[in-house]
Structure 1
Amino acid sequence: MKHLRFYFDPISPYAALAFEHLPQALEGLSYSVEYRPILFAALLHALGQKGPAEIEPKRQWTFRQISWAAHKLGQPLQVPAQHPFNPLPLLRLAWACAPAGDTPNRATVERIFRHVWRSEGAHPADAARLAALSQELAPVRDPASEEVKETLRVATEAALTLGVFGVPTIEVDGRLFWGLDSFDMVAAYLKGDPWFQQGDWEAAAVPRPGVRRAAP
């Protein structure tokens, strides 16, 4: 049995769809999953990038494409009243629902994703909604505690060190698979596709230095 780590931030519609689609995409395969909430904005900051929603033409395409993906997968998806929004309360709540040293379970993660992406256009950071969600999930630790904040910081830094640059990312055996459209690769790897064993994975990532953009 392979062990998968699913890195996510509930701010990402792709992560939301990937979470829902994962059991179907890997149906019949032997695996376990560990869900690791991380702060996507921290990845962007560390890598010097803007988020898709911060570039207007890209934002328009992202939400058109994710709407199509939800339609194709037969999954409900409702864009929240504000996006981007501050996901920190949800990320901390996710970690607070797990005992120290453990990770949140699938039921917790599902409820948090659906709070954002199946909310009939409600605001995901609305104080009353967050309070109701916290009461429903009954965290075993205080989401506002320094312990939980540090857990999220450490998890995000560890993901960066591993090479995670976006969400959703699945890590298995040290290999990183990014995005909703990588699930066929994950399934192939779990099935033992020889492509992963004969050097093609490594060869495809060999640097090929070329023209570099001049600094502004």
Structure 2
Amino acid sequence: MHYITMHLDFVSPYAWLAFQQLPQTLQGLNVHVTYRPVLLAALLRHSNNPGPMETPAKRLWTYRHTEWLGQHLGVPLQTPASHPFNPLPLLRLALHTSEDGSINRYVAETVFRHVWEGGSDALDPARVQALQTTLAAQMNPAPDIADQAKQWLRSNTEAASAQDIFGVPAFEVAGQVFWGLDSLPMLRDFLDGHPWFTFGAWENANSVSRV
């Protein structure tokens, strides 16, 4: 059995695409996946990474690239009317369904679809209210769940930073981290026990000096 943690933030189109591709990547394997919301902006700050949205040309390319990827991969993806947006309300709402700081696949997919299907404003109050209603049956009834959700998001993000996770999507398994949509084939090779990972090539990256 492989235990995988997917670190995600709903603001990331690449996280949505990777979320949808993950079952295909893991097909035929005995795995358990934990879905863990984190705040991407905090991870970027911690790693001194400005992120693609801070560079106008890269921001435009990201929208074009991810919408092309969506149609190429058969994943519905329309950039929200306003992006980037503050994902805190959606991350905390998702964590209102949690018991331990992780969320189930249904909750993750419901929120991702809310953001990335249709091209509407992800934070439109009426739409957020409708999302809340959709997730009502999943909600943790604990009286302090709102405060607990905030704490889980903070601790999830801090733990990810401590693992040198610098963005989303990120997949942690057996103490190793695979970052990005394009890391999914590499993740599959690792889980399949490809010899490349056992002959020093993985660790050799640490020995490359920076000029």
**TM exceeding 0.5:** yes
- Matched residues in 2 for 1:25 and 1:192: separation? 14
- Alpha carbons of 1:143 and 1:80: their partners in 2 closer, same or farther (altered >3 Å)? farther
118, 126, 134: which is aligned to 1:136?
A: 134
Deviation digits for residues 124-183 of structure 1, max 9, x if unmatched? Answer: 011111111112102215797222111100010000001100000000001110000000
Task: Show CA shifts across 1:43-70 (max 9, x none).
Answer: 1122222221221010111112112211
**Residue pair 1:92, 1:143 contacting (<8 A) in 2 also:** no
Structure 2 counterpart of 1:196: 197
8 Å Cα contact 1:96-1:143 kept in structure 2: no
Structure 1 residue runs without a partner (length 5+):
211-216
Cα distance change, pair 26–3 in 1 and its aligned pair in 2 (3 A) = same
Q: CA, structure 1 residues 143+58, in 2 after alignment: closer, same or farther (shift >3 Å)?
A: farther
Residue matched to 1:178: 179
On the 8 A contact 1:97/1:104 being kept in 2, the answer is: yes
What's the Cα RMSD here? 1.5
Q: Extract structure 1 runs of 4+ deviating beyond 4 A.
A: 141-144
Which runs of 5 or more residues in structure 2 are unaligned?
none
Letter in 2 for 1:19: F
Paired AA for residue 28 in structure 1? G
Alignment-mate amino acid for residue 129 of structure 1: R
Aligned residue type for 2:55? I
TM-score, normalising length from structure 1? 0.92
Pairs within 5 Å for 1:143-158: 145-158=146-159
Task: Tell me how many residue pairs correspond in the alignment.
Answer: 208
Q: Quick check: 1:91–1:152 contact (8 Å CA) kept in 2? A: yes
SS in 2 for 1:4: strand
Q: Is the 2:9–2:87 contact (alpha carbons within 8 Å) kept by the matching residues of 1?
A: yes
**Quick one: which amino acid aligns to residue 116 of structure 1?**
V
Q: 1:61 & 1:142 partners in 2: Cα distance?
A: 44
Identity %: 47
